[in-house]
Amino acid sequence: MAIRLDYRDGDFETRFAAFLTTKREVSEDVNATVRAIIEDVRENGDKALAAYSLRFDSLDFAVTPMRVGAEEIEAAYSDTPADLIAALELAAARIEKHHARLLPKDDVYEDEIGVGLGSRWTAIDAVGLYVPGGTASYPSSVLMNAVPAKVAGVPRLVMVVPAKEGAINPIVLAAARIAGVDEIYRIGGAQAVAALAYGTETIEPVAKITGPGNAFVAAAKRQVFGTVGIDMIAGPSEVLVIADGENNPDWLAADLLAQAEHDRGAQSILITDSAELADAVEAAVARQLKTLERSETAEASWRDFGAIILVPDLEKAVPLANRIAAEHLEIATADAESFVPKIRNAGSIFVGRHTPEAIGDYVGGPNHVLPTARSARFSSGLSVLDYMKRSSILRLGPDQLRSLGPAAITLAEAEGLGAHARSVAIRLNPSG
Amino acid sequence: MAIRLDYRDGDFETRFAAFLTTKREVSEDVNATVRAIIEDVRENGDKALAAYSLRFDSLDFAVTPMRVGAEEIEAAYSDTPADLIAALELAAARIEKHHARLLPKDDVYEDEIGVGLGSRWTAIDAVGLYVPGGTASYPSSVLMNAVPAKVAGVPRLVMVVPAKEGAINPIVLAAARIAGVDEIYRIGGAQAVAALAYGTETIEPVAKITGPGNAFVAAAKRQVFGTVGIDMIAGPSEVLVIADGENNPDWLAADLLAQAEHDRGAQSILITDSAELADAVEAAVARQLKTLERSETAEASWRDFGAIILVPDLEKAVPLANRIAAEHLEIATADAESFVPKIRNAGSIFVGRHTPEAIGDYVGGPNHVLPTARSARFSSGLSVLDYMKRSSILRLGPDQLRSLGPAAITLAEAEGLGAHARSVAIRLNPSG
């Protein structure tokens, strides 16, 4: 049973505020272990990687090479059922098309006094993509990370994936092939992150590392940040559903459970103005849990972090939604479109009764890597921008320097930066 | 004397690679102290802030209020010399105009099968701006951080600045007024960062914190990251000058010293194809150091981290510049424009002999908060994008769900996510 909050209760604000700050993750402190692993890889390169793979993945690089060969990738692609390949290709095409619209445009111009200014966007030279092993190895995540990188124009996209006894989920390899990943290595954990950041004999270093991973991978990404860029560190997933009374409770229950099945720390929240719907959804959740493969996970998530919030009218849901700042926000109301402009904080918004969040996980087009744990208040989902950087450009001639120089000198002198002032003044008075 | 590297030397690659990874900062480990301060502020709010201000700044909030009043800001503005106000206003206007061009555009569209898709940009609700006290308290940095926030549309911009005995540099207050900062508090250090992140009785929490600070501030920003967003943690500044033999050595020496005077860890690099110019610049640096207010800092920086790299021709400078990925790159050559498209990694590019980097520090228009320590390989200067976030939008009707749903089900099932599949299937077969 999820918790219930009622807007009309006297202690609602207190309970809602407490609910907002509920911790859904225990963060293991693996920093010391990770630091040692990174040092080891920096010092011993491939040798260190080989030792870790033997130890953690029962994988001997003398037998199975660290780099996945082209034939193996082709074989995985050929062995993947046709309907799955078609689904991956549909997803990749839609992701590519949507992300291409997010490509920033260079802007080089001259202002009214003839100063040349510019913003020039370039792709990052080389990016590493971490893909988890085992059950968390999602082909859809490969597409969501790799396709935007390729749309951005990243010339070298390197994937790492841990491989127990050398085996990699063939669908992951098929997805990597479809997305255009350039190199794939059978390594994982903090050691893979270290290899991407610092390079080894076999692996050239990259400039940025993206993709999800366990506590060791997350800690390693934090530690190598600065040497390379990293993406956000994602927490457990969450969905907020705003629903009027006219919904099919079974549809909403399925959506809440789709989030809950991800992780025991996932969170599913329903806000509705209908007490009847609230009860019906709660009952539908209980019913659907019985026939769910991942019922244990989903049940724990719904029990520990699920919530149903009753509001007197759906307008009241808007400020609550903006405070929750959910990763995924479903609006299942008759006038769903009219809610959208009022939403300030949400990773992704799913509009109307026929847009289950799961469509966005796979084939919608927008990215499914989204800000969790209320970070939609200050950050955005993954996009081409995460694989690019901008250089600003400034160009003055003698006339422009005469026009702007004196103000720069005034400010530099006020800040006590004499060499700054001189570097301008010396060009204004070449004789001085 | 800076180090000299010659491209034609046999060991150039080895020496250049070592030069690239020179550490220019000793990072103090202040994490434990900072953790305790943050806990204290979370628990004791204003009381904790008052105690720290008394201890570190000899400032008693019972006498001088924590919040800077409107009259004090007006007085600071009025007391600032007119030429300085004019310079600040010129700078603010140019920063505003340039940054407005970087505002991202919403993009809401329907694809060929009728799926509604969108990217909607919104400003962050509340942002905190850290401004250092003492000599590092730069009015220009207030403008560079605050103006883009206001251009982005941030409704609430809160500034914190440590104030020894209550005093704040009046030019900093004048800059804050010009930039439109909404609230100013006389607090600094890790405690100010904690107050911005978690709020106190007096200060409402913000969603993101930007601005430079000392080791304590940097550590505090790292620790509150997740609860709020943060900007990059800037390292010591650097400039790379690519110059042909036709330059006035005094101009280039002034530019190199303008960087070096910032910090003993700053770095100034000259790449040239002219040994004569190299010698002349070296001599000019020595000469100019004698009459520089901050000569001790500049001399140490030039001695410890400065470099002159001789190349056989300037084409060879391009790949070196891309590996250095300098925060500031000056191109002082006859055909400066032609170099720009070849530069992939640089925070800001200054084109031609009449564009000293100091213009960009103050009145150019582009931001002076730029990626340091080679992070221009994967990140960009501060801009309006740092004060905004994007929600993606997806809208399907029954027809679109029929079109895309089966592929989503196929992928969900392949990933073992039964509730994901069900949330789509249940809408396709309402009877099932």
- Classify residue A301: in a domain, yes or no: yes
Say yes or no: B220 and B335 in one domain. no
Residues A95 and A133 in one domain: yes
Nearest beta carbon to residue A416 from set B293, B322, B357: B293
Look at residue A341 and give its three-state secondary structure: helix
Q: How confident is the model at residue B23 (pLDDT cuts 50, 70, 90)?
A: confident
Which residue out of A99, A261, A282, A328 is catalytically annotated? A328
Please confirm, yes or no, whether A328 is among the known catalytic residues: yes
Q: How are beta strands A328-332 and A208-210 bridged, if at all?
A: unpaired
Measuring CA to CA, which residue among A355, A89, A251 is closest to residue B392? A355
Contact state of A228 with B393 under an 8 Å Cβ cutoff: no
Domain shared by B268 and B307, yes or no: yes
Residue A309 is assigned to a structural domain of this protein: yes
Domain presence at residue B115 = no
Chain A interface disruption, residue of B23, B422, B428, most A CBs within 10 A: B422
Phi/psi-derived region of residue A65, left when phi > 0, alpha when psi is between -120 and 50, beta in every other case: beta
State how far residue A81 is from chain B, nearest Cα, in angstroms: 10
Closest approach of A209 to chain B, Cα-based (Å): 10
Last residue of one domain, picked from the residues B364, B388, B409: B364
What residue spans of A58-101 are helical by DSSP H?
70-79, 82-100
B81: in domain = yes
Residue A35 has pLDDT above 60, yes or no: yes
Catalytic residue among B328, B330, B357, B368: B328
Judge: B351–A426 Cβ closer than 8 Å, yes or no.
no
What residue type is A110 in one-letter code? E
Strands (E), A100-177: 107-110, 116-123, 126-130, 156-160
pLDDT tens by residue, A174-207: 999 999 999 999 999 999 999 999 999 999 999 9
Judge if B49 and B136 occupy the same domain.
yes
Q: DSSP alpha helices (H): ranges in B306-351?
A: 317-324, 336-339
pLDDT at B207 over 50: yes
Label residue A190 left, alpha or beta by phi (over 0 means left) and psi (-120 to 50 means alpha): alpha
Chain B stretch 7-66, residues whose beta carbon is closer than 8 A to a beta carbon of chain A: none
User: Are B145 and B249 in a shared domain?
Assistant: no
Instruction: Say if CB B117 and CB B393 are below 8 A apart.
Output: yes
Please say whether the beta carbons of B366 and B360 come within 8 A: yes
Picking from B211, B230, B249, the residue at the C-terminal end of a domain is B230
Mark whether A139 and A187 lie in a shared domain: yes
Read off the CATH number of the domain in which B421 is found. 1.20.5.1300
Mean pLDDT over A308-325 rounds to: 98
Task: Supply A87's token pair.
Answer: 């689904």
Give the length of chain A.
432
Check if A210 contacts B (Cβ < 8 Å).
no
Contact B419 A288 (CB under 8 A): yes
- For residue B312, which amino acid is it? P
Q: Which chain A residues are Cβ-neighbours of B380 within 8 angstroms?
A: 389-391
Q: What is the pLDDT of residues A214-260, one digit of tens each?
A: 999 999 998 999 899 999 888 889 999 999 999 999 999 999 999 99
Instruction: Report the helix count and the strand count for chain A, using DSSP H and E.
Output: 16, 14
What is the rounded average pLDDT of the residues A298-326?
97
Whichever domain contains A351, its CATH number is 3.40.50.1980
Q: Is B431 one of the annotated binding-site residues?
A: no
**Domain-embedded: residue A306:** yes
The DSSP letter of residue A385 is G
B183 with B38, same domain: the answer is: yes
Indicate if A363 and A281 belong to the same structural domain. yes
Active-site choice (B327, B330, B357, B368): B327
- Report the distance separating Cα B233 and Cα A82, nearest Å: 48
Eight-state DSSP code of residue B87: H
pLDDT of residue B234: 81
Q: Pairing mode, if any, of strands A107-110 and A116-123?
A: antiparallel
Distance CA B408, CA A358 (A): 7
User: Are residues B354 and B210 part of one domain?
Assistant: no
Q: pLDDT per residue over B328-360, tens digit each?
A: 999 999 999 999 999 999 999 999 999 999 999
Torsion angle of alpha carbons B420, B423, B424, B426, nearest 10°?
A: 140
Structural domain contains residue B381: no
Contact residues on chain A for B354, CB-CB shorter than 8 A: 396-398, 400-401, 427
Contact assignment for B260 to A419 by CB distance below 8 Å: yes
Task: Give yes or no for residue A135 having a pLDDT over 80.
Answer: no
Q: Angle, to 10 degrees, between the axis of helix B215-224 and the axis of helix B189-198?
A: 20
Instruction: Give the ipTM.
Output: 0.96
Q: What is the pLDDT of residue B432?
A: 46
Residue B125 and residue A377: Cβ atoms within 8 Å? yes
Task: With CA atoms as reference, report the closest residue to A377 among B209, B160, B380, B369.
Answer: B209
pLDDT value at position A430? Answer: 62
Tell me if B209 sits within 8 A of B193, measured CB to CB: yes
Quick check: is B151 in a domain? yes
Cα distance between residue B78 and residue B82, in whole Å? 9
Task: Give pLDDT tens digits for A71-91.
Answer: 999 999 999 999 999 999 999
Identify whether A323 is part of a domain.
Answer: yes
A340 & A265 share domain: yes
Query: Which of these, B333, B411, B228, lies nearest to A89 by C-alpha position?
Result: B411
How far from each other are the two terminal CA atoms of chain A, in whole angstroms? 80
What CA–CA distance (Å, rounded) separates B411 from B426?
16
Q: Phi and psi (nearest 5°) for A109?
A: -150, 170
Q: What is the Cα–Cα distance from B247 to A170, expressed in whole angstroms?
A: 59
| Beta carbons of A250 and B426 less than 8 Å apart | yes
* CB neighbour list of residue B296: distance below 8 Å, 6 or more residues apart: none
Domain count, chain A: 3
Please provide residue A350's backbone torsions phi and psi, each rounded to the nearest 5 degrees.
Answer: -110, 115
pLDDT above 70: residue B426:
yes
* pLDDT of B28 strictly over 90: no
Q: Is the pLDDT of residue B255 over 80?
A: yes
Does the annotation mark B328 as catalytic? yes
Among B431, B417, B432, B424, CA closest to B402? B424
Query: pLDDT confidence of B277, banded at 50, 70, 90?
Result: very high
Q: How far apart are CA B100 and CA B242, in angstroms?
A: 30
Q: Which residues are paired to B310 by β-bridges?
A: B6, B272
pLDDT score recorded for residue B429: 82
Neighbouring residues of B2: CB distance < 8 A, sequence distance ≥ 6: B268, B282, B285, B302, B303, B305, B306, B307, B308
Beta-strand ranges (E) seen in B258-361 are 267-272, 307-310, 328-332, 348-351
Q: Which domain holds residue A410?
A: 396-428
Mean pLDDT of the region B2-13: 95
What's the mean pLDDT in A386-407? 98
Residue A367's SS3 state is coil
Q: Tally A–B CB contacts below 8 A.
A: 373
Task: Determine the Cα–Cα distance for residues A331 and B212; give it in Å rounded to an integer.
Answer: 40
List binding-site positions of A.
Answer: 130, 191, 214, 237, 259, 262, 328, 361, 415, 420
Q: Which of B195, B230, B265 is the last residue of a domain?
A: B230
Q: Is A208 helix (H, G, I), strand (E, B) or coil?
A: strand
Q: Please tell me the predicted confidence (pLDDT) of residue A339.
A: 96
Q: Å from A280 to nearest chain B CA?
A: 16
Helix A418-428 × helix B249-260 angle, to 10°? 160
Q: Say yes or no: B226 contacts chain A, CB-CB below 8 A.
A: yes
The 10s digit of each residue's pLDDT in B66-104 is 999 999 999 999 999 999 999 999 999 999 999 999 999
The span from the CA of A190 to the CA of A185, in Å, is 14
Based on the domain organization, do B62 and B17 belong to the same domain? no
Binary contact (A410, B87; C-beta < 8 A)? yes
A199 touches chain B (CB under 8 A): no
CB-based contact (8 Å) between B413 and chain A? no
**To which H or E segment does residue A194 belong?**
helix A189-198
- Asked whether the beta carbons of residue B376 and residue A360 sit closer than 8 angstroms, the reply is no
Exposed/middle/buried for A162, CB within 10 Å: 0-12, 13-18, 19+? buried
Give A295's contacts (C-beta < 8 A, 6+ positions apart): A289
Q: Which of A282, A299, A327, A330 is catalytic?
A: A327
Spatial distance between the Cα atoms of A183 and A168, rounded to a whole number of angstroms: 14
**Cα B378 to chain centroid, rounded:** 13
Q: Within an 8 Å CB–CB cutoff, is residue B303 touching chain A?
A: no
Is the model's pLDDT at B431 over the cut of 70? no
Is some CB atom of chain A closer than 8 A to the CB atom of B111?
yes
Q: Rounded distance, CA A57 to CA A50, Å? A: 10
Mean pLDDT of chain A: 96
B238-243 β-sheet, strand order: A107-110, A116-123, A388-395, B348-351, B328-332, B238-243, B267-272, B307-310, B3-6
Pairing of strands B388-395, B126-130: unpaired
Whether A411 and A275 share a structural domain: no
Inter-chain residue contact A140 with B411, CB threshold 8 Å: yes
Tell me what pLDDT residue A432 has.
Answer: 46
